[in-house]
Amino acid sequence: MKPRILYTKPSITDLEVSYSNDAAINGWGDRCYEYINRFEESFKKHLGVDYAIATSSCTGALHMGMAALGISPGDEVIMADTNWIATAAPIVHLGAKPVFVDILSDSWCLDPQLVEKAITPKTKAIIAVHLYGNLCDMHSLLEISTKYGIPLIEDSAEAIGSVYHGKSAGSMGSFGTFSFHGTKTITTGEGGMLVTNDKELYEKILTLSNHGRSRSQLKQFWPDVIGFKYKISNIQAAIGCAQMDRVDELINRKREVLNYYRQRLEKISGLRMNPEPSGTINGAWMPTVAFLPETGVTREILMAAFLAENIDARVFFWPLSSLPFFGNSGHQVSTLLSNYSINLPSYHDITKTELDRVIEVIKKLTI
């Protein structure tokens, strides 16, 4: 059997090992937040934002951010139907209702026209997820946000390195969130980051992130509100610091992989890949092929073909509204893409030989 090709794995070097080793040996007592503070500072600088809070996950960052916005039972939050449940779960945990709208067929992200149609007096936020590194139409979504006075949240879990007309993904909304799961371009194993330019919102979230203890509170162990425990550890942050020291290298390599696929697959009729409209940069977290239905190349055919060649691949996200507990009513574009698309292997040290093996599987299906 041919050697297995994984769909993703992190890039860990001696630098990450060195930093994490230092944190494990010395990162205690008055140094217990040293790497966390450094990680937040480097991330702020990279994105060009004013405030950052490192968290245990992107999901936790979303949970705290929406809680700080006052989202509560009876409220509605609009989001794209094509997403992982991690974006919807915090809405449900807060007692609110996720309202799913369909996606655009070119970007695979939130359709602004459908967002505006879905707004009701109960709408308290809109979440723009930059899917697989693809960028939402932020111009239109920000206009809607301003017009209706509804906060726009950027779930940029998959979009480190993505840039929209000069602005980094995650830096444009009321707040943005990022994931450092082991599959992501930047990793801490598990972890996340919340960023914002809103000082008042930052202070609220910072208090919530520390069990509700305000940093202005002089009493020891005196919480001002009931908060959360979504902190990242100093050791995880140490790995994150090393990754941020290499951030341009890591993003550029992901873009190289996506471009290699694109250049060799772009002439295949009925196949589309991650878009990169004029004025944008796609961070290229997860190269994806989407086939038109008339090709007959379905998700099941793709998965079977990759399995036969000992190659891992990921299915395109299922429409959240197709899940029984959300109503079982998938939208048209979201459903079509899910049925005819797949994510391709794209780890940093994937070789040309391995990339060519993946490409050959796709080409054989389209001859």
The 10s digit of each residue's pLDDT in 44-79 is 999 999 999 999 999 999 999 999 999 999 999 999
Q: Are residues 145 and 232 in the same domain?
A: yes
Pairing relation of β-strands 123-129 and 76-80? parallel
**Tokens coding 323:** 């899940």
CA 274 to chain centre: 15
Q: Are residues 231 and 280 in the same domain?
A: no
Q: Are residues 237 and 122 in the same domain?
A: yes
Please indicate, yes or no, if residue 2 is contained in any of the structural domains: no
Please indicate, yes or no, if residue 3 is contained in any of the structural domains: no
What confidence score (pLDDT) does residue 331 get?
82
Question: What mean pLDDT do residues 257-280 have?
Answer: 96
Question: What mean pLDDT do residues 153-159 have?
Answer: 98
Q: Report long-range pairs for 244-248 (Cβ below 8 Å, ≥24 apart).
A: 244/39, 244/42, 244/43, 244/46, 244/186, 245/15, 245/42, 246/11, 246/13, 246/15, 247/46, 247/160, 247/161, 247/186
Q: How many CB atoms lie within 10 A of CB 324?
A: 6
Domain count, the chain: 2
Q: Are residues 216 and 292 in the same domain?
A: no
Q: Which of 348, 284, 338, 283 is nearest to 314 (CA)?
A: 338
Q: Are residues 204 and 336 in the same domain?
A: no
Can you tell me the distance from the alpha carbon of 67 to that of 124, in angstroms, rounded to the nearest whole number? 11
Average pLDDT, the chain: 96
Q: Are residues 236 and 357 in the same domain?
A: no
pTM score, whole prediction: 0.96
pLDDT in tens, 283-334: 999 999 999 999 999 999 999 999 999 999 899 999 999 998 897 676 899 9
Q: Are residues 235 and 288 in the same domain?
A: no
What confidence score (pLDDT) does residue 218 get?
87
Q: Is the pLDDT of residue 24 over 80?
A: yes
Share of the chain above pLDDT 90, in %: 95
Please indicate, yes or no, if residue 39 is contained in any of the structural domains: yes
Q: How many CB atoms lie within 10 A of CB 140?
A: 15
What confidence score (pLDDT) does residue 1 get?
81
Question: What mean pLDDT do residues 132-150 have?
Answer: 98
What confidence score (pLDDT) does residue 247 get?
98
Bridge partners, residue 53, by sequence = 194
Q: Are residues 255 and 178 in the same domain?
A: no
Asked which of 219, 245, 271 is the last residue of a domain, the reply is 245
What are the strands, taking DSSP E only, across the chain? 51-55, 76-80, 97-101, 123-129, 152-155, 163-164, 167-168, 175-179, 192-196, 271-273, 280-281, 288-291, 314-315, 341-343
Q: Which of 49, 76, 86 is nearest to 201 (CA)?
A: 49
Query: C-alpha dihedral over 196, 199, 202, 207, to 10 degrees?
Result: 170
Asked which of 178, 213, 245 is the last residue of a domain, the reply is 245
Please indicate, yes or no, if residue 54 is contained in any of the structural domains: yes
Q: Are residues 180 and 75 in the same domain?
A: yes
What confidence score (pLDDT) does residue 107 get?
97
Can you tell me the distance from the alpha carbon of 347 to that of 5, in angstroms, rounded to the nearest whole number? 10
* Domain limits for position 342: 248-366
What confidence score (pLDDT) does residue 328 get?
66
**Tokens coding 52:** 């950052």
Would you say 353 and 319 are in contact if contact means Cβ atoms under 8 Å apart?
no
Asked which of 198, 225, 245 is the last residue of a domain, the reply is 245
Q: Which of 283, 291, 279 is nearest to 338 (CA)?
A: 291
What confidence score (pLDDT) does residue 252 get?
98
Question: What mean pLDDT do residues 339-352 have?
Answer: 97
Q: Are residues 235 and 165 in the same domain?
A: yes
Can you tell me the distance from the alpha carbon of 117 to that of 13, in angstroms, rounded to the nearest whole number? 48
Confidence of residue 207 (pLDDT cuts 50, 70, 90): very high
Please indicate, yes or no, if residue 204 is contained in any of the structural domains: yes
Can you tell me the distance from the alpha carbon of 180 to that of 187, in angstroms, rounded to the nearest whole number? 4
Q: Are residues 256 and 221 in the same domain?
A: no
Please indicate, yes or no, if residue 33 is contained in any of the structural domains: yes
Please indicate, yes or no, if residue 99 is contained in any of the structural domains: yes
What confidence score (pLDDT) does residue 330 get?
67
Q: Are residues 47 and 178 in the same domain?
A: yes
CATH code assigned at 270: 3.90.1150.10
Share of the chain above pLDDT 70, in %: 99
Please indicate, yes or no, if residue 5 is contained in any of the structural domains: no
CATH code assigned at 175: 3.40.640.10
Query: C-alpha dihedral over 103, 359, 357, 316, to 10 degrees?
Result: 10
